[in-house]
Structure 1
């Protein structure tokens, strides 16, 4: 399937699908259903993918731009999210979907989950379904444990499998992000004998005090993937390097943009690294509010 042509732009809208960081992540046990219980803090970023959507009246859900994807259309979370929402509300509406991919796949930055959440939130608006946020979060959880936090759109302390969310107010911060280009399936990491699965449960106060900065997957990935260890070694020259999620993505936090830019300039040119600002809340919800305001004004006119 080809990308939309230059003369075929009518009806499209472009929605942000922001990346996230896990500022720490620990596994506290295993549940009866086989899933691992964890604790983490999700930090929204002002950078990420973009999702272009064009509603259809014929009920078809169609993906464009397959050159940007390495997954089949059946496995694509954006397509699955649209079909899930369509089936949930028994809608006869459809949509064309085009993803502008910037978030590295498998890096732990939440790209696929954020893309799916953006489709749910955006189509709820474009199809005028009026589902509340809790309903969208419940649907998102069927697609993946990280989807609800992107639907909710707030920085959060998370427990359960990542879906039990407590909003957090975080200080302003900028991040140097780095992508080692390694993708290790999360299932493999959970099977590792080196993974700590029984960490003592923490409290939000522990994180706020600065005690909880580790990631249970970091020692496992650093020991098995030389490319990740090499990136940690380089980033350690500019600050405290950390891992996000269960992926290979690494980051260093700074309190101001100038310091982040200066640190980025010190890194070797061959390293894929860039700067992102921590967001107070998801850019998706800022955009949604503007769309709702515009729609309200049109209805009043």
Structure 2
């Protein structure tokens, strides 16, 4: 079902995949307060859908999006405006979001929406900015945006801008949302957060030898619903927190095992099953659109 307001001609649909943090370590803090991370990003074949339509009047209009988030605060709108400013493009866009990724879930929904807007509008508007330029624009919007712009599994270091592509083995995931939102900024300010973990090697991080998440003890103590979900899923498989939460996940060898756990998920929690995507579905959509346009 299309979001309200997505009717008429000129609309195109673009995937905005969710991500998991297979591990997350905080290895230091800069003088400006930003935290230095080591985290393994795993893209999924499931997420939001962003609908876009170019406008000739230069306006950026959010036709549909989360009711609890103003258009000015929406990263998808901010991404479109940032691309206008960087490219000098005089065109505008209508934006509609079909949100499946929970807000405050640690799955990168807002960042992925922003990256999809950057990459798709760059094509629709004919800006011809390269991937690195789009990633720099994205970094100003949020530390997770560049990995979605590049669209590949990666180790992220620094504040999230130093990306090393990884080839991760195929896997299925059950992802559970325990019905709460966890604000990332508050977690980074938590006095009990461990900020001095020893850096790990790329080899150990990429092979799955390190699966810890620095935020998990903090989230467990502050959010009983997340703690309960971790305990429940932990009784069936190895449970992990994604990002700063609230979503948790388990990695399974096959789809059937993931679906079996998802079916058993207690109400009112929600569960999804998704496969790891070495390459973002957004990249395939961009290529397909380009082929159609060149033939036309």
- 8 Å Cα contact 2:166-2:206 kept in structure 1: no
Quick one: distance in 2 between partners of 1:296 and 1:220?
51
Post-superposition offset of 1:201: 0.5
Give 2:216's aligned residue.
218
Aligned match of 2:251 in 228, 234, 253?
253
Task: Give the 3-state SS of the residue equivalent to 1:20 in structure 2.
Answer: strand
Give 1:231's aligned residue.
229
Post-superposition offset of 1:71: 1.0
Post-superposition offset of 1:33: 2.2
Alignment of 1:116-265 (within 5 A): 116-265=114-263
Task: Give the 3-state SS of the residue equivalent to 1:238 in structure 2.
Answer: coil
TM-score of the superposed pair, with normalisation by structure 2: 0.96
Give 1:97's aligned residue.
95
TM-score of the superposed pair, with normalisation by structure 1: 0.94
Quick one: distance in 1 between partners of 2:70 and 2:247?
24
Give 1:291's aligned residue.
289
Post-superposition offset of 1:269: 4.2
Give 1:51's aligned residue.
50
Quick one: distance in 2 between partners of 1:246 and 1:127?
35
Number of residue equivalences: 294
| CA distances 1:205-236 after superposition (whole Å, capped 9, x unpaired) | 11234321000000110011111111011101
Quick one: distance in 1 between partners of 2:172 and 2:46?
11
Post-superposition offset of 1:268: 2.6
Post-superposition offset of 1:194: 1.7
Quick one: distance in 2 between partners of 1:270 and 1:180?
7
Quick one: distance in 1 between partners of 2:51 and 2:206?
37
Give 1:38's aligned residue.
37
Task: Give the 3-state SS of the residue equivalent to 2:71 in structure 1.
Answer: coil
Give 1:63's aligned residue.
62
Further displaced range: 200-209 or 95-104: 200-209
CA RMSD after TM alignment: 1.3
Quick one: distance in 2 between partners of 1:274 and 1:128?
36
Gaps of 5+ in 1: none
Quick one: distance in 2 between partners of 1:58 and 1:210?
49
Further displaced range: 231-240 or 136-145: 231-240
Further displaced range: 254-263 or 164-173: 254-263
Quick one: distance in 1 between partners of 2:41 and 2:236?
23
Post-superposition offset of 1:254: 0.3
Task: Give the 3-state SS of the residue equivalent to 2:72 in structure 1.
Answer: coil
Give 2:86's aligned residue.
88
